Structure 1
Amino acid sequence: MARTAKKALEELSRRGPHDVLHGDLSLVGLPGIVCTPRSGLGLPAIAFGHGWLQPPRRYLGLFRHLASWGIVVAAPGTQRGVLASHSAFTTDLRTALDVCVNVRLGEGEISVDASKLAVAGHAMGGGCAVLAAAEDERIRAVATLAVAETRPSALDAAQQVHVPGLHLTGGKDLLTPPVANAEPIARAWGGPVQLRTVKKASHLGFTEGRHWTELVLHGRSEYGTQRLAKALLTAFLLRTLTGDKRGEALLNADVSGTAIDQSLTRGGLVRA
Structure 2
Amino acid sequence: MASSAKKAFEELSRRGPHDVLHGDMALVGLPGVVCTPRSGLGLPAVAFGHGWLQPPRRYLGLLRHLASWGIVAAAPGTQRGAFASHRLFATDLRTALDVCAGVRLGDGGISVDTERLGVAGHAMGGGCAVLAAAADDRIRSVATLAASETMPSAFEAANQVRVPGLHVTAGRDLLAPPVSNAAPIAHAWNGPVQLRTVKKASHLGFTEGRHWTELVLHGKSEWATQRLAKALLTAFFLRTLAGDDRGEPLLTADVAGSTIDREHTRGTLATARS
TM-score normalised by length of structure 1: 0.99
- Quick one: which amino acid aligns to residue 211 of structure 1? H
- Quick one: which amino acid aligns to residue 103 of structure 1? V
Please tell me whether residue 212 in structure 1 is matched to residue 197 in structure 2. Answer: no
The C-alpha deviation readout for 1:115-167, integer Å capped at 9, x for no partner, is: 00000000000000000000000000000000000000000000000000000
Deviation at 1:106, TM superposition (A): 1.4
- In structure 2, the residue matched to 1:95 is 95
- Quick one: which amino acid aligns to residue 79 of structure 2? Q
The count of corresponding residues between Structure 1 and Structure 2 is 272
The C-alpha deviation readout for 1:212-269, integer Å capped at 9, x for no partner, is: 0000000000000000000000000000001101000000000121000011000000
Deviation at 1:107, TM superposition (A): 1.7
- Quick one: which amino acid aligns to residue 81 of structure 1? G
- Quick one: which amino acid aligns to residue 163 of structure 1? V
Please tell me whether residue 183 in structure 1 is matched to residue 202 in structure 2. Answer: no
Q: Secondary structure at the match of 2:70?
A: coil
Please tell me whether residue 162 in structure 1 is matched to residue 154 in structure 2. Answer: no
Tell me, in whole angstroms, the C-alpha distance in 2 between the residues paired with 1:111 and 1:102: 9
Tell me, in whole angstroms, the C-alpha distance in 1 between the residues paired with 2:184 and 2:79: 25
Tell me, in whole angstroms, the C-alpha distance in 1 between the residues paired with 2:102 and 2:96: 10
Deviation at 1:104, TM superposition (A): 1.4
The C-alpha deviation readout for 1:54-88, integer Å capped at 9, x for no partner, is: 00000000000000000001110000000000011
The C-alpha deviation readout for 1:175-229, integer Å capped at 9, x for no partner, is: 0000110001100000000000011100000000000000000000000000000
- Aligned counterparts, 1:1-272, within 5 A: 1-272=1-272
Deviation at 1:23, TM superposition (A): 1.3
TM-score normalised by length of structure 2: 0.99
Q: Secondary structure at the match of 2:47?
A: strand
| Dislocated runs of 4+, deviation >3 Å | none
Tell me, in whole angstroms, the C-alpha distance in 2 between the residues paired with 1:256 and 1:151: 33
Deviation at 1:108, TM superposition (A): 1.4
- Quick one: which amino acid aligns to residue 231 of structure 1? A
Tell me, in whole angstroms, the C-alpha distance in 1 between the residues paired with 2:140 and 2:226: 24
Which ranges in structure 2 are unaligned for 5 or more consecutive residues?
A: none
Which ranges in structure 1 are unaligned for 5 or more consecutive residues?
A: none
